Amino acid sequence: MLLLLMVLASVLACSPPQSNNPNKDLISYVDPYIGSGGHGHVFVGASVPFGAVQLGPNNETQGWDWCSGYHYSDSILIGFAHTQLSGTGIGDLGDILFMPVAGSYAPSSDSDIPYDWKASYTHKKEVVQPGYYSIYIDRHQVDAELTTSERVGFHKYQYDGDGNSKVIIDLNYGTGWDQLTQGSVEQLDNNSINGFRFSKGWANDQRVFFHTTFSKKIKAFEVLDASDEKGIARVIIEFEGNGELLAKTAISPVSTEGAKNNLTAEIDHWDFEAVKAKAQEKWNKELAKIKVETPNETDKRIFYTALYHTMIAPSLFNDANGDYRGSDHEVHPNPGYETYTTFSLWDTYRAAHPLFTIVQPERVNDFVNSMLAIYQQQGKLPVWHLMGNETNTMVGYHAVPVIVDAYLKGFRGFDAELAFEAVKAFAMRDERGLDFIKEIGYIPAESEVESVAKALEYAIDDWCIAAMAKAMGKSEDFELFSKRAKYYENYFDKSTQHMRGKMADGSWRTPFNPIASQHREDDYCEGNAWQYTWLVPQDVNGLVDLFGSEEAFITKLDSLFSMESIKLEGASADITGLIGQYAHGNEPSHHITYMYAYVGQQWKTAEKVRQIYHEMYSDQPDGLSGNEDCGQMSAWYIMSTMGFYPVNPANGNYVFGSPLFDQVEISLPGGKNFTVVAENNSSENIYIQAVELNGEAYNKSYISHATILNGGTLRFVMGAEPNPDFGAALSDRPTSAY
């Protein structure tokens, strides 16, 4: 009997938390390891929502799957950097690396040994939570804990070995392409240091200033690496005795004085646990904006981890007093809003930014204002903006749908006329094939690589400009850009029913293989013709017309999902998460499953999204089918599992899929709530049988943003068999109308 009770107690202790506990902290459902393996590239460490600091562990390895500086497969720690990227396909940042080392550590005289203080570790000695990270470093006998505020990284080191405590500060390290160009570390007084790290890489001119205060007096300060060319690149600092050492490091894009002021403004005490509690309280507050009910604990972990991952970026890029460094590399005074950076717009315009209009409305105006300031300082809206630098990464000018979506949804905390000027100005530039768009309506394949991808993305952006022009009464601009939004038609080859590269003489590029994809060398961007043929989310009805009939469109779309999942040699590594030739691991595919609703077969959308939930997302380290891409991979899951998705990124309509949870409650401004209920929901009952909105029958297969913001209850009745009548009537389908 005693043995039975002991076994029962052990089982209960290891059982997952029960979802019917309303007081449970939602952060306990977040597993930051999800996506840290495979090709997810997510950040692991301590941060607060949209904070400037991402303080976490860094591995020695420099490879594609280490773009965040850390990968679950690794086991070598070199220190803790204060800035990291999450989910990107290019590595950068990794600024200001701290590493606590044992008193017995002595720097090697062998310059061929990089990071001679590095230490092996196991995940059994790590703890990862939103706002908190800890690891025991066996080699140096140090228990390290990390937490943050928006602009300050807080370190807590417990030295268990003999001798004095030591900390290495290394400015040489940078993730991926990042390389130190100039560094400085200097001791200010008995307890503090400051400095800066300038680097080049993906962000070609990155400047980070820092100020650090220690809880103990500095016993010795030694420069380990310095040169006339790069300044001071590495120091080691020694403190008397072992035991606890605390360090607070504030960063600033402006100056060391700005960093010092950030430290005073945000953490003016030494209570590590209080800072950790505040960071986790911030995460709980943001996660609680969407409350899901389900008996499936795995799905709940995936959901809240996904929601967490949507709030790593964009990241703050100003001081606590509002000052920031602009895209012109000049320091600008407080503009009256928070300034942000890390805009992965080719990815996030699709679902992450539409999600923000629902759950982060207080930040939307700041995002837009940050983009407009970038426009004024660099002459164009951001493409992929990082730390005050334009990287020009990926194709399209996708600040446009983000700005237009905000405007059409009623956000007015920015200058609308300036915003329209900015979106139009980008479309009228001569770079990246736009000169050909203006002259002949398409980009000749022999003139530009990725010509098809560029032009299809431009057509999406131009649809958005036309929509904004119409809303603002700018009829001439509406006529111009609604015409340009149709230029995708120039790439459709009716004989193959694919989007193809077109030569200057009007002929199709040959030879042609619709599954071929040569990374950065052909007509597509991280994809092939099968995937890019569907990149017309702004005008699905028009794409259907190109196929000649709904039947032909459906047949081709069915084939996308049912054909063989193969990749040819040379294909982009980003083509992952294949179902047939549908590639969920890369963003251009994300809207495709929802296109069935436009031709009256919403039930097929339900089938496909349910398949993706279970095949492309899990609660394991390799639980993402591709790069997280600053929140977009997770935003697809968040939006879709709630039951709807923004196919057109700026028309304010969300197309129904298949709700995963029994109930979802979204907190809205003004104390309102919007509740999504799925009756008879189960892993078998995936098809929508009927819908009610606030108790009234609702026959449409989509819902508007305005309707959601009004609050109320959307009730899905689910079943195990398709209901081909739901959403089949023309009047009930989503449309591409302005």
Which pLDDT tens digit goes with each residue over 510-547? 999 999 987 767 899 999 999 999 999 999 999 999 99
Amino acid letter for position 737: A
- Confidence bin at 112 (pLDDT 50/70/90): confident
Which pLDDT tens digit goes with each residue over 166-201? 999 999 999 999 999 999 999 999 999 999 999 999
Over residues 310-334, mean pLDDT: 98
3-state secondary structure of 637: helix
Chain-centroid distance of CA 32 in Å reads: 14
Looking at the DSSP bridge assignments, the partners of residue 129 are 132
Which pLDDT tens digit goes with each residue over 404-437? 999 999 999 999 999 999 999 999 999 999 999 9
User: Contact, 338 vs 366, CB < 8 A?
Assistant: yes
Q: Please tell me the predicted confidence (pLDDT) of residue 1.
A: 39
Which pLDDT tens digit goes with each residue over 536-585? 999 999 999 999 999 999 999 999 999 999 888 888 888 999 999 999 99
Backbone φ, ψ for residue 198 (5° rounding):
-105, 140
What is the largest distance, in Å, between two alpha-carbon atoms of the chain? 86
Residue 114: closest CA among 55, 180, 173: 173
Residue 34: closest CA among 308, 286, 305, 348: 305
Task: Give the tokens for residue 42.
Answer: 């997510």
- Confidence bin at 24 (pLDDT 50/70/90): low
Q: What is the DSSP letter of 502?
A: B
3-state secondary structure of 356: helix
Please report the beta strands in 71-118, taking only residues with DSSP state E, as ranges in sequence order: 76-81, 97-101
| pLDDT(2) > 90 | no
Find where tokens 């389908």 sit.
733
Q: What is the DSSP string of 220-263?
A: EEEEEEEETTTEEEEEEEEESSSEEEEEEEEEESS-HHHHHHHH
Q: Please tell me the predicted confidence (pLDDT) of residue 252.
A: 98
Q: Check residues 688 and 519 and name the one with the higher pLDDT.
A: 688
Q: Model-level pTM?
A: 0.96
| pLDDT(148) > 50 | yes
Query: Residues of 403-419 as b/e, b for ≥16 C-beta within 10 angstroms?
Result: bbbbbbbebeebebeeb
Q: Check residues 322 and 17 and name the one with the higher pLDDT.
A: 322
Q: Torsion angle of alpha carbons 458, 462, 463, 468, nearest 10°?
A: 150
Find where tokens 């009770």 sit.
5
Over residues 107-129, mean pLDDT: 93
Q: Please tell me the predicted confidence (pLDDT) of residue 643.
A: 98
Which pLDDT tens digit goes with each residue over 583-612? 999 999 999 999 999 999 999 999 999 999
| pLDDT(18) > 70 | no
Residue 62: closest CA among 174, 143, 151, 154: 174
Instruction: Give the end-to-end CA distance of the chain in Å, rounded to a whole number.
Output: 72
Over residues 140-162, mean pLDDT: 98
CB neighbours of residue 695 within 10 Å: 9
Please report the beta strands in 449-567, taking only residues with DSSP state E, as ranges in sequence order: 492-493, 498-499
Q: Please tell me the predicted confidence (pLDDT) of residue 526.
A: 93
Which pLDDT tens digit goes with each residue over 351-400? 999 999 999 999 999 999 999 999 999 999 999 999 999 999 999 999 99
3-state secondary structure of 67: coil
- Confidence bin at 13 (pLDDT 50/70/90): very low
Residue 183: closest CA among 142, 228, 216: 228
Over residues 61-74, mean pLDDT: 97
Question: How far is the C-alpha of 296 from the C-alpha of 704, rounded, in Å?
Answer: 29
Crossing angle between the packed helical segments 297-309 and 632-642, to the nearest 10 degrees: 130
Which pLDDT tens digit goes with each residue over 492-501? 999 999 999 9
The contacts found for 215-220 with CB under 8 angstroms, 24 or more apart, are: 215/191, 215/244, 215/245, 215/246, 215/247, 215/270, 216/165, 216/191, 216/240, 216/245, 217/190, 217/191, 218/187, 218/190, 218/191, 218/193, 219/164
- Confidence bin at 464 (pLDDT 50/70/90): very high
Q: Check residues 4 and 26 and name the one with the higher pLDDT.
A: 26
The domains located in the chain, with CATH, are: 30-103+115-287 (2.70.98.10), 337-429 (1.20.1050.60)
